[in-house]
Amino acid sequence: MMWFNIAKAQSFMPTQGTEIAKQVDNLYGFLLVTSFIACVLVIGGMIYFVWKYRRKTPNDKTAYISHNTALEFLWSFIPLVIFLGVFGWGWYIYHQMRAMPKNALEINVLGKQWAWEVEYKNGYKTVNEIVVPINQDVKILLTSSDVIHSFFVPSFRIKQDAVPGRYTALWFKADKLGDFHLFCTEYCGTSHSGMIGKLKVVSREDFDKYMEQGQEERNLPLGEKGKKLFAVKACASCHAVDSPATMVGPSLFQKFGHEETMDDGTKIMFDENYIRESILEPNKHIVKGFPKGVMPTFQGQLNENELGALVEYIKNLK
């Protein structure tokens, strides 16, 4: 711990997710302390002087002091030395930020209005979610398909513009597990503030599993993908799929293509659109005999492709 950590710079900065973040915070802590001292000197000096030498009579005599070369040299020279010191320190850290590590795990990220498209080396694609292993150099290769965006993970203290028509890059080595915010910091229009992603730092094993899963998912037939999702999203804990038995919710076995009676007495055809509606707005139509408000909505948690996979899976439960 260095002396300037009394500034508790971290208390206002987000979690330190990388080694670089700690270095940045140290420098920031130093700057905070020196800035505070400088402000106390200047503002305190100002307040002290204006109060001590406040006007007492309308005809106060004032001293005629036009300049003082030694003093002026000192207060030009000392700030210069401090500024250059800070500059050098900054240079040192910045160089580490910009020097791309060799053998890093590379992930391509494409900014577009208004989402981050992520593509891993094995071809697995996600949107607004990046999963990386802990303690591993990760290099993000950025570009944009429309306007300039900027890739910002506050906890990692890193930021880089995604510029259309060229690649830019940044790297990090996360040393904390967890979910971190990913913001767009270059103004990009209507939903600029909604262009928020998640950066998940997981263990090596979980990452490998995630990649494998992604690899498999890409090759799976739609129905199989749906089966997997059904398990991952824990649908099976409430809905039976291999018998008409009632669990928390109605069974889905052999339901497709048949009419269902709702709690208000109306009948609804159990078709693709009803499945979709039941996933996204589960409480709109409740099957007779079941309570309302039990099933949570999956709005925003599934993309079109995943919805399609689920529909395909439920369709074929025979």
Q: Are 111 and 145 in contact (CB under 8 A)?
A: yes
Residues 67-106 interacting with another protein (rule: CB under 8 A): 67-68, 71-72, 75-76, 79-80, 83-84, 86-87, 89-91, 93-95, 97-98
Sheet holding 178-184, edge to edge: 129-133, 197-202, 178-184, 149-153, 158-162
Q: Does 4 bind another protein (CB under 8 A)?
A: no
Closest residue by Cα to residue 185 from 222, 132, 149: 149
Q: Which stretch binds another protein (CB under 8 A): 43-51, 133-141, 260-268, 287-295?
A: 43-51
Question: Which of 7, 131, 171, 186 forms a contact with another protein (CB under 8 A)?
Answer: 186
Question: Which of 1, 3, 60, 300 forms a contact with another protein (CB under 8 A)?
Answer: 60
Interface with another protein: number of residues (CB under 8 A): 80
Closest residue by Cα to residue 112 from 147, 152, 150: 147
Question: Which of 108, 126, 168, 254 forms a contact with another protein (CB under 8 A)?
Answer: 168
Instruction: Specify the 3-state DSSP secondary structure of 69.
Output: helix
Question: Which of 8, 45, 123, 283 forms a contact with another protein (CB under 8 A)?
Answer: 45
Q: Minimum Å distance from CB 58 to another protein?
A: 9
Q: Does 154 bind another protein (CB under 8 A)?
A: yes
Distance CA 36, CA 13 (A): 17
Q: Which stretch binds another protein (CB under 8 A): 32-40, 123-131, 234-242, 276-284?
A: 32-40
Q: Does 108 bind another protein (CB under 8 A)?
A: no
Q: Does 148 bind another protein (CB under 8 A)?
A: yes
Question: Which of 7, 17, 24, 249 forms a contact with another protein (CB under 8 A)?
Answer: 24
Side-chain-side CA neighbours of residue 236 (13 Å): 12
Residues 190-219 interacting with another protein (rule: CB under 8 A): 190-194, 196
**Which backbone phi and psi does 235 adopt, to 5 degrees?**
-70, -35
Question: Which of 2, 56, 219, 318 forms a contact with another protein (CB under 8 A)?
Answer: 56
107: region left, alpha or beta (phi > 0 left; psi from -120 to 50 alpha)? beta
Question: Which of 6, 8, 22, 35 forms a contact with another protein (CB under 8 A)?
Answer: 35
Q: Does 3 bind another protein (CB under 8 A)?
A: no
Q: Does 152 bind another protein (CB under 8 A)?
A: yes
**Which backbone phi and psi does 261 adopt, to 5 degrees?**
-95, 130
Question: Which of 1, 2, 3, 50 forms a contact with another protein (CB under 8 A)?
Answer: 50
Q: Minimum Å distance from CB 304 to another protein?
A: 23
Pick 191 or 297: Cβ nearer another protein: 191
Angle between helices 204-219 and 222-232 (to 10 degrees): 150
Q: Does 23 bind another protein (CB under 8 A)?
A: yes
Distance CA 312, CA 38 (A): 67
Residue 229 token pair: 């999702």
Q: Does 160 bind another protein (CB under 8 A)?
A: yes
Distance CA 21, CA 231 (A): 38
Question: Which of 8, 125, 181, 209 forms a contact with another protein (CB under 8 A)?
Answer: 181
DSSP letters, 97-124, are HHSPPTTPEEEEEEEETTEEEEEETTS-
Pick 3 or 91: Cβ nearer another protein: 91
Pick 24 or 132: Cβ nearer another protein: 24
Contacts of 256 by beta carbon, 8 Å cutoff, 6+ apart: 270, 271, 314, 315, 316, 317
